Each structure stands twice: as structure tokens, then as C-alpha cells.
Copies of this chain bind each other. A is one copy, B any other.
Amino acid sequence: MSDSLAVIAILGGTGDLGTGLARRWAQAGYQVIIGSRTEDKAVAAAADLKAVMQARGIDGVNVRAMENLAAAEAADICAMTVPFAHQTGTLELVKEALKGKILIDVTVPLVPPKVARVQLPEQGSAGQIAQQILGEDVQVVSAFQNVAAHHLQEGQGLSCDVIVCGDKKDARAKVIELVEAAGMRGFHGGSIANSAATEALTSVLIFINKQYGCHAGISITGLDDKA
């Protein structure tokens, strides 16, 4: 396990999606901090993560448990997997701690109960909301909205691509490295405004899952078809 790998905090990391990302990155050798609103929940999730890794034959994973703010302060890079209703509050809480860092925003603006219906916010997307709240000192990159948590939690390969959106190409490139470390292909998807596409697609995939009884994702085709 290399010390040169980034320390990744997953804010709201005790849910299905956060658990999936934590498993993928821990398995890839990253130091992972599970962040939660309460330290107790984070401690339980970290213990579970260690147990799952041991069951997979992986010992000595580097995982810690903290409250969200402490997690954001201790990390080199943060991912956030909270429900849309908690996005703004969590961002306000950790805003100062994120300065100079990349925030991987996985928020999808689902509006229950109609989660299979696209209902984008007036700002355009959750990614844009995050960038507006955090300002220019934080590089918001959105990703992972179209990956089934179910698949992330498993140890094997994933047939789902990840479109990565953010205003800075370098920041997108760093997140694409983390996508690849998690076992998927990542693609530059353009500015944070383009997060509207991936966020909206989540509702479509929820609809497809209900309609066809599956765990759908997307793949980019035509890459070998040179322009």
C-alpha cells in the first residue's frame, strides 16, 4: 500500500453508495475516511468495511471514521454521497475545510416520491449548486451518479462507465484516476453544467430498472470510431 496515494474522505459515507465507493477505494489501497453526521455511525461503517475486506482476503486496509467536518479536514480529496435534501447543509458545514481541494459530488437531485422522473433544480444541476456554494476555491467535479450502489459494493468488475464533469480539466483528470481505481472507465464530460445530463440520467435508469427489472448503467460507445 503506497503512502503516496491520496487520503479520500467520503462525506455521508455510511449509505449504500458511500459504502460502495469506500470498498472500491480501500481495496485499491487508498486511505479512506468514512465521514458521517455522527461518529458512531461512521465507526460502525468503518468496522463493516474492514470486515468485508477481510472476507475478501484483504488485510490491513487503512480506514478511519470521523464526523463529516473532521473527515473533510483530514482528507486530500473528498467525495460526497448524501441525499439531495442534505447537500446544501453538508456543504455549508465543510466549506472551509474543502478550500484548495477537489470535491467529488455524487449528489443526484431526486425529488421523492417521483424519483423516476427528472426534476432538475432551477440552478441546473446539483453539481452547479455545489460549485456556487463552495466558490472558486474548491474544484467541484461530479461523478458516479449512474453507477448502481449494489454494483459498487461487490468486489468484481463493473460494466458501467462514469462521466466526469467539472470546470477544470486537471481536477477531472484526478477524479478519472479514482474512477479507474474503482474499476470503471471514466470520461471527461465537460463543465460542471454538464452534470445535469448525468444527474437526469439517474432518474431514467431508475425508470429502466423498474421497467425491465434490472440494475442498469450506461456505457460510452463509438470511441474507436475516429472522427
A117 to chain B, nearest CB (A): 5
B222:A217 contact, CB within 8 angstroms: yes
B117:A222 contact, CB within 8 angstroms: no
Known: A187-B208, A190-B203, A207-B189. A120 touches B196 (CB 8 A): yes
B208:A216 contact, CB within 8 angstroms: no
B214:A189 contact, CB within 8 angstroms: no
| Least CB separation from A218: chain B residue | B218
Cβ contacts under 8 Å, A187 to chain B: 208, 211-212
Known: A194-B117, A224-B214. A204 touches B219 (CB 8 A): no
A212:B223 contact, CB within 8 angstroms: yes
In the bound assembly, the distance between CA atoms of A213 and B222 in angstroms comes to: 10
In the bound assembly, the distance between CA atoms of A216 and B218 in angstroms comes to: 12
A190:B120 contact, CB within 8 angstroms: no
A222:B216 contact, CB within 8 angstroms: yes
A118:B222 contact, CB within 8 angstroms: no
Cβ contacts under 8 Å, A224 to chain B: 214
A120:B116 contact, CB within 8 angstroms: no
Other-chain contact of A200, B191, B197, B216 (Cβ < 8 Å): B197
A192 to chain B, nearest CB (A): 10
A85 to chain B, nearest CB (A): 20
> At the interface, yes or no: A55 with Cβ under 8 Å from chain B?
no
> At the interface, yes or no: A143 with Cβ under 8 Å from chain B?
no
> At the interface, yes or no: A78 with Cβ under 8 Å from chain B?
no
A contact set with B: CB distance below 8 Å: 116-120, 124-125, 148, 151, 159-160, 163, 165, 187-191, 193-194, 196-198, 200-201, 203-204, 207-209, 211-227
- Can you pick out 19 interface pairs between chain A and chain B where the beta carbons lie within 8 Å of each other? A117-B190, A118-B125, A118-B194, A118-B197, A120-B124, A148-B222, A160-B221, A187-B211, A189-B207, A194-B203, A196-B196, A197-B204, A201-B201, A213-B226, A215-B222, A216-B221, A216-B222, A217-B221, A218-B218
